[in-house]
């Protein structure tokens, strides 16, 4: 991590960039938060470890509107989102200096907290850290395998290559150990009743906090259809389970063909709803009906939903 | 949904019809004295490409039992390509509805030109029967909209 800070300090000092977008130490050892650093002194709070799961590319929409270049730290999977934003002309590439940081999978604090309460310190989560994560709690020390605490999305890692970067720092590791569409296929194999019950259960937990929308790099409309004129709690009133279903179906539909499957929606959901299942279903269908497509891989590629061929299958036909 | 005087279930069907083809097709069906069920409520749209997936979900939420989208035959769109985009969108949306466990068959897309009054009436009769056999839409409705 010190090497990265040194490099960022050098970039700030020689005037290549005016600010750095990275992660800042949080109150707890496991909650670093995205932050802008304007000077080399501020960089003392900079942190990059296993808990820096946040995808910073969406913040570059606003950051690249500022004067001067902004250096941004992007993990391999974040670079897909950044490419997609370039494709949609939402970021100004000329104002961005991309540092492709290495990644060996990011940790899910929920999984760690399951058997470690009262955490005071966590070590071994850095990029060059150990295979075992040591957790100091007020009830004693615990050890856990790094790979056992990975975020769900890291089990279907898209690879260690940065799609776009001005320079890279650190070695990455491909942490994929699951089939990408395994969960979707499992659901598809169930009966309609079982699927309906599954989604009703999951979505009834939704509190309409809009965290999934706010974090999603593809959800970058200035005016959102879900912005509500009602006041405060009223807009969150949850009268019927269908409201949640409609919200999540429409949200997934709006990002269909543009979703890079970065998994941020599931990561930030305070209720732990597996929202990526919607996006992944659309990706699976697009792959199946319109040819394999990975959003953000190629900033020139045409999105499948803004394209067509004369031979497309008819709605309702199952190919 | 409604119940007629015999206590028989009558579905509520929303049909999004393209102004340039099936809407005129419905007119033709009428002027050629071909009947189609009164349960079908037609909403005129400028093109099948105008149909936002949200329209369909909203229709279900507000109590529709089935939704059908009628547009020009591929290649005949008044705006050249609108129905091709609609075709991709609806394919994905119907697949998603199936995925979350809604009965397959509550939604349908039919290409129907202005000269196909007979096809329009036949499609609507078929679709109505299908929805009547599926019964009331309980999975997608909003409780607040129930009478």
* Residues of chain A scoring pLDDT < 70: 230-242, 317-319
At B18-40, the pLDDT tens digits run 999 999 999 999 999 999 999 99
In chain B, residues with a C-beta closer than 8 Å to the C-beta of A242 are 60-61, 140-142
Q: Does the distance separating the beta carbons of B101 and A198 come in below 8 Å? A: yes
Distance CA A176, CA A155 (A): 5
A288 touches chain B (CB under 8 A): no
A298 touches chain B (CB under 8 A): no
Coil, strand, or helix at residue B145? helix
The size of chain B, in residues, is 147
Q: Which residue of A has its CA nearest to B106?
A: A316
Q: With bands split at pLDDT 50, 70 and 90, how would you rate the model's confidence at B111?
A: very high
In chain A, residues with a C-beta closer than 8 Å to the C-beta of B140 are 242, 245
Closest to B101 (Cβ–Cβ): which among A199, A242, A307? A199
Could you give phi then psi for residue A129, rounded to 5 degrees? -80, -170
Per-residue DSSP letters for A181-209?
A: THHHHHHHTS-HHHHHHHHHHHHTT----
Mean pLDDT of chain B: 89
Q: Is the CB of residue B3 less than 8 Å from the CB of residue B97? A: no
Closest to A188 (Cβ–Cβ): which among B54, B57, B99? B99
In chain A, residues with a C-beta closer than 8 Å to the C-beta of B106 are none
Question: What pLDDT shows up at residue A237?
Answer: 56
Q: Does the distance separating the beta carbons of A281 and B96 come in below 8 Å? A: yes
Count up the domains in chain B and report the number.
1
Per-residue DSSP letters for B114-140?
A: TT-HHHHHHHHHHHHHHHHHH----SS
- Give, in order, the Cα–Cα distances in Å from A151 to each of A110, A143, A146, A160, A210: 9, 17, 10, 16, 21
Between CA A209 and CA A214, with CA A210 as vertex, the angle to 5 degrees is 135
A252 touches chain B (CB under 8 A): yes
Q: Does residue B58 lie in a domain region?
A: yes
Q: Is the CB of residue A7 less than 8 Å from the CB of residue A169? A: yes
At B73-99, the pLDDT tens digits run 999 999 999 999 999 999 999 999 999
Best probe of the A interface among B66, B95, B112, by most A CBs < 10 A, is B95
Q: What percent of chain B has pLDDT over 70?
A: 92
Q: Is the CB of residue B40 less than 8 Å from the CB of residue B89? A: no
Q: Which residue of A has its CA nearest to B143?
A: A240
Question: What pLDDT shows up at residue B102?
Answer: 83
Question: What pLDDT shows up at residue A319?
Answer: 46
Question: What pLDDT shows up at residue B147?
Answer: 46
Running DSSP on this structure, what letter comes out for residue A255? H
Contacts of A36 (CB under 8 A, 6+ apart): A19, A20, A21, A63, A70
Contacts of B133 (CB under 8 A, 6+ apart): none
At A135-163, the pLDDT tens digits run 999 998 988 999 889 999 999 999 889 99
CATH of the domain at B102: 3.40.50
Closest to A195 (Cβ–Cβ): which among B87, B94, B100? B100
A314 touches chain B (CB under 8 A): yes
Domain ranges of chain A: 2-108+157-169, 182-306
In chain A, positions 194-213, which contact chain B (CB-CB < 8 Å)?
A: 194-199
Helices and strands, counts by H and E, chain B: 4, 6
Q: Which residue of B has its CA nearest to A189?
A: B99
* Residue span of the structural domain in which B92 resides: 2-72+82-137
- Diameter of chain A by CA atoms? 65
A6 touches chain B (CB under 8 A): no
Q: Does the distance separating the beta carbons of B91 and A314 come in below 8 Å? A: yes
In chain B, residues with a C-beta closer than 8 Å to the C-beta of A286 are 92
In this structure, the dihedral spanned by the alpha carbons of residues A297, A303, A304 and A309, taken in order and rounded to 10 degrees, is -120
Other CB atoms within 10 A of residue A5 CB: 18
Q: Does the distance separating the beta carbons of A312 and B88 come in below 8 Å? A: yes
Strands, sheet with B107-111, edge to edge from the N-terminal-most edge strand: B40-45, B13-18, B66-71, B107-111
Contacts of A176 (CB under 8 A, 6+ apart): A155, A156, A157, A158, A159
In chain A, residues with a C-beta closer than 8 Å to the C-beta of B93 are 253, 315
Q: Is the CB of residue A17 less than 8 Å from the CB of residue A71? A: yes
Tokens 């939420």, residue?
A: B61
Q: Does the distance separating the beta carbons of B107 and A196 come in below 8 Å? A: no
In chain B, residues with a C-beta closer than 8 Å to the C-beta of A198 are 101
In sequence order, which ranges of B42-116 are alpha helices (DSSP H)? 53-61, 82-99
Q: Does residue B144 lie in a domain region?
A: no
Q: Does residue B143 lie in a domain region?
A: no
Strands, sheet with A132-137, edge to edge from the N-terminal-most edge strand: A119-123, A132-137, A140-145
Distance CA A101, CA A126 (A): 12
């Amino acid at each position: 991590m010190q090497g990265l800070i040194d490099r960022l300090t050098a970039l700030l000092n020689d005037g290549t960039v005016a600010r750095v977008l990275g992660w800042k130490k949080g109150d707890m050892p496991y909650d670093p938060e995205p932050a802008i650093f304007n000077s080399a002194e501020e960089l003392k709070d900079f942190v990059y470890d296993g808990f820096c799961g946040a995808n910073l590319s969406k913040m570059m929409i606003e950051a690249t509107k500022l004067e001067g270049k902004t250096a941004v730290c992007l993990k391999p999977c974040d670079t897909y989102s950044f490419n997609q934003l370039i494709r949609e002309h939402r970021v100004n590439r000329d104002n961005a200096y991309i540092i492709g940081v290495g990644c060996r999978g990011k940790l899910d604090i929920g999984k760690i907290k399951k058997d470690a309460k009262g955490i005071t310190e966590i070590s071994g989560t850095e990029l060059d850290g150990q295979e075992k994560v040591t957790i100091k709690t007020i009830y004693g020390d615990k050890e856990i395998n790094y790979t056992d605490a990975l975020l769900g999305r890291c089990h279907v890692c898209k690879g260690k290559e940065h799609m776009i970067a001005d320079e890279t720092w650190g070695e990455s590791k491909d942490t994929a150990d699951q089939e990408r569409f395994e969960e979707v296929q499992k659901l598809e194999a169930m009966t309609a009743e079982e699927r309906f019950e599954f989604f009703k259960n999951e979505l009834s937990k939704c509190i309409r906090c809009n965290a999934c929308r706010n974090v999603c790099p593809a959800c970058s409309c200035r005016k959102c259809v879900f912005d509500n004129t009602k006041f405060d709690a009223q807009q969150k009133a949850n009268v019927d389970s269908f409201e949640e279903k409609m919200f999540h179906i429409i949200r997934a539909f709006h990002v269909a063909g543009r979703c890079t499957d970065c998994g941020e929606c599931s990561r930030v959901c305070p209720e732990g709803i597996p929202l990526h299942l919607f996006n992944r279903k659309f990706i699976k269908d697009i792959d199946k009906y319109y040819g394999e497509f990975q959003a953000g891989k190629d900033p020139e590629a045409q999105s499948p939903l803004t394209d067509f061929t004369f031979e497309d299958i008819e709605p309702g036909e199952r190919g | 949904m409604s119940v007629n005087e015999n206590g028989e279930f009558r579905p509520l069907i929303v049909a999004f019809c393209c102004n340039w083809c099936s809407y005129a097709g419905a007119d033709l069906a009428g002027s050629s004295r071909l009947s189609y069920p009164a349960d079908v409520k037609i909403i005129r749209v400028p093109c099948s490409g105008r149909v936002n997936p949200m329209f369909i979900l909203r229709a279900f939420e507000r109590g529709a039992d089935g939704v059908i989208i009628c547009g020009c035959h591929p290649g005949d769109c008044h705006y050249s390509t609108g129905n091709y985009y609609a075709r991709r969108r609806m394919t994905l949306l119907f697949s998603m509805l199936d995925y979350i466990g809604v009965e397959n068959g509550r939604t349908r897309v039919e290409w129907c030109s202005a000269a196909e009054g007979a096809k329009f009436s036949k499609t609507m009769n078929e679709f109505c029967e299908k929805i009547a056999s599926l019964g009331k839409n309980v999975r997608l409705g909003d409780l607040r909209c129930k009478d």
